[in-house]
Amino acid sequence: MLTRLTERHFPSIIPPTTKAKPTNRCVLCAERKKRKESRYWCPESRTGLCPAPCSGIYHTKA
């Protein structure tokens, strides 16, 4: 079973880097062929995600 489905994961703001406001592409939006940048990610999964609804969907559906 995937650990992202059984463990508790919470979105958080991406830690600062050399960029003023670091962003990542949301993995679910990218699967839907949408280019959506998000300042949030799941540190446990190490994936960029929109805080709502993508984070909830990613961690509850296989």
pTM, entire model: 0.70
Question: pLDDT digit of tens for each residue in the chain (62 aa)?
Answer: 455 555 667 788 888 888 888 998 999 999 999 888 899 988 888 889 898 888 888 878 76
| Other residues' Cβ atoms within 10 Å of the Cβ of residue 23 | 14
Q: How far apart are the first and last CA of the chain?
A: 9
HSE of 13, CA atoms in CB hemisphere, 13 A: 6
CB 35 within 8 A of CB 29: yes
Label the pairing between strands 47-48 and 24-25. unpaired
